[in-house]
Structure 1
């Protein structure tokens, strides 16, 4: 019986692997800080006697922006947690790629505040700019994830024993979709209507939440049953 064909290994020495624990712990701390910073834009409004309900309604845009970004950061954390299940160690290059991912995460509070301000006090043009800014930040955030999966494909020694090339390829489609569709969402908000653009952002966040372990049904099954204990 002939042996199954082995996956082609890249030429050159294998990268020197370090424990993934420090990278995961640092990343979790960054996510925790960012998701906490989001709440700082919420405030108790000034109100006259009997006008508390009306004053709280005026803060609704800030609440909306907070909820959208809170869910977004949570989804990004789920995605980050999922990709760390693909690797058995880290390298200096992978650490830098991870820092680029975290850079995109820590930027989220700024477009969140801009969006809340535009929803509360701006006109349609202001809201259009705020939506485009948010969509642009989200699109740019997809770029380091694309680099992460490309690096993982070129260095199979980094991958956990249960992770194959097809699983990495399935994950790599997601940041490409993010780059394209977040960009199109920004255009939709600018050209058509900023509220449509905001709705598109919410849809994309939901998409990334439901596909945190890949875009194919087989990948979802692998994510549930083939993960490291």
Structure 2
């Protein structure tokens, strides 16, 4: 399952980078004019995919067995992440129009929900003494992330500058750029 997930995430990154446009000229101004927005949207989406990849990898250090529920929950997460090349390209091509930014935010929220469901299904499968349950605890970081994504979504719909929504989405990425230390503590703890 991890190999499939790694492959899907690698393909997602590859598709996103193929969406970048080669500049018409040979100067930095040409790069900024033809690819500047695309590079920014690619960077944010690449960071998100990287965050999910590293946290997924750490998550499965605490999951010793999977069942059908875990497999389907993992596919749900991969489905949400597989939409990132599409929503990223739309944001790029619209030059940060409100509706594409809103849809991008919905995509990010769907990925967050997919990860939450995967985590919850895995904890239920492992039972009440799940090491994953101990690691996740009350999941304040997840709750703050969800709140920031929701504020970003509302901002994308509101008559405020679209950068407010993008700042919320980038803020979530900053929160998660370092792999979840809660899981690392449990993985490293003696049994």
TM-score range, shorter chain: 0.7 to 0.9
Q: Is the 8 A contact 1:85 1:227 kept in 2?
A: no
- Report the Cα offset of residue 88 of structure 1: 0.5
- Aligned pair in 2 of structure 1 residues 134, 146: CA closer, same or farther (>3 Å)? same
More helix by share: 2
The 5 Å alignment of 1:84-163 reads 84-119=60-95, 127-156=97-126, 163=131
- Structure 2 gaps of 5+ residues are none
After superposition, the C-alpha distances for 1:9-35 in whole angstroms (9 at most, x for unaligned) are: xxxxxxxxxxxxxx0111111111111
- Structure 1 gaps of 5+ residues are 1-22, 120-125
2:64 is paired with a residue of what secondary structure? coil
Map of 2:185 onto structure 1: 222
Distance in 2 (alpha carbons) for counterparts of 1:85 and 1:158 = 18
Map of 1:53 onto structure 2: 28
**Aligned-pair Cα RMSD in Å:** 2.5
Distance in 2 (alpha carbons) for counterparts of 1:94 and 1:28 = 16
How high is the TM-score relative to the length of structure 1?
0.73
Distance in 1 (alpha carbons) for counterparts of 2:77 and 2:128 = 18
Q: Is the 8 A contact 1:105 1:141 kept in 2?
A: yes
**2:9 equivalent to 1:31:** yes
Larger-gyration structure (1/2): 1
- After superposing on structure 2, the runs of 4+ consecutive aligned residues of structure 1 that deviate more than 6 Å are none
How high is the TM-score relative to the length of structure 2?
0.86
- Aligned pair in 2 of structure 1 residues 223, 100: CA closer, same or farther (>3 Å)? same
Q: Is the 8 A contact 1:139 1:180 kept in 2?
A: no
2:18 is paired with a residue of what secondary structure? helix
Map of 1:181 onto structure 2: 148
